Amino acid sequence: MSNNIVWHDHNLSKTDRAKLKQQRPCILWFTGLSGSGKSTIANAVESRLYQLHKHTYLLDGDNIRRGLNAGLGFSDDDRVENIRRIGEISKLFVDAGVIVLSAFISPFQEDRDRVRALVNGEEFIEVFIDTPLEVCENRDPKGLYKKARKGEIPDFTGISSPYEAPANAEIHVKNSELSIDACADIIIQYLQQKGYLNAQ
């Protein structure tokens, strides 16, 4: 980083912005295999939060790779950089007082922990969408597993690249056993019980 870069303080704080929105900002970090249902569940949760008049933004892996991270591939180094950038964006949303939903495979625990370290204590909520590999392969909504099995996609998580499942996620959702609505209920209930949806 250049020595000529100086941090510029804002008149308004994160607390000010959150108070205006009547919520506690946080990162809901959805992690799981491709096809596990991360984006679908995150969409359902965001819709519920909208109905509760909460301020949110949903960051999705494929969408981000079409813009901000369009130049990144899927090597281990590029995956690390992908998550680093998303972590920094998520941190900015938290500073804005927003509940940000980040849906990314994010296969490495170290990368998820690095994002957690960017924000304060309870501002990072790891949501493990726990769906067995065979279920994800059977769903295969994008046909990616078939290509990976044929060797057409190198470094594919769960096939030729590892996925490190969270050991202590704040929210553990077994998606193969529940409906999308039931999964969303679990997450909304957690936010309500922990006071994220209350005024400051």
Longest dimension (CA), the chain: 55
Residue 61: per-residue pLDDT: 67
Both tokens assigned to 165: 């499942």
Residue 82: per-residue pLDDT: 84
Both tokens assigned to 45: 């949760």
Give yes or no for a contact between 105 and 144, defined as CB atoms under 8 angstroms apart: no
Residue 127: per-residue pLDDT: 98
Of residues 106, 160, 161, 176, which has the active-site annotation? 106
Looking at the structure, give the CATH architecture of the domain made up of residues 16-193. 3-Layer(aba) Sandwich (3.40)
Residue 31: per-residue pLDDT: 96
Rounded Cα–Cα distance for residues 99 and 1 (Å):
29
Residue 141: per-residue pLDDT: 81
Q: Which residues make Cβ contacts (< 8 Å) with residue 55, sequence separation at least 6? A: 21, 23, 97, 98, 99
Instruction: Let me know if 94 is exposed, middle or buried by CB neighbors in 10 A (0-12, 13-18, 19+).
Output: buried
C-alpha distances out from residue 73 to 81, 85, 163, 175, 192, Å: 10, 14, 17, 28, 38
Torsion of CA 7, 17, 172, 153, to 10 degrees: -50
The model carries a pTM of 0.89
Q: Which residues make Cβ contacts (< 8 Å) with residue 6, sequence separation at least 6? A: none
Active-site residue 106, yes or no? Answer: yes
Q: Which residues make Cβ contacts (< 8 Å) with residue 180, sequence separation at least 6? A: 37, 40, 41, 44
Domain locations in the chain? 16-193
In order along its 200 residues, the chain shows pLDDT tens digits of 556 555 556 668 888 888 889 999 999 999 999 999 999 999 999 999 999 999 999 998 667 777 667 778 777 788 888 888 999 999 999 999 999 999 999 999 999 999 999 999 899 999 999 999 999 999 988 899 999 999 999 888 999 889 999 999 999 999 888 999 999 999 999 999 999 998 65
Give yes or no for a contact between 87 and 58, defined as CB atoms under 8 angstroms apart: no
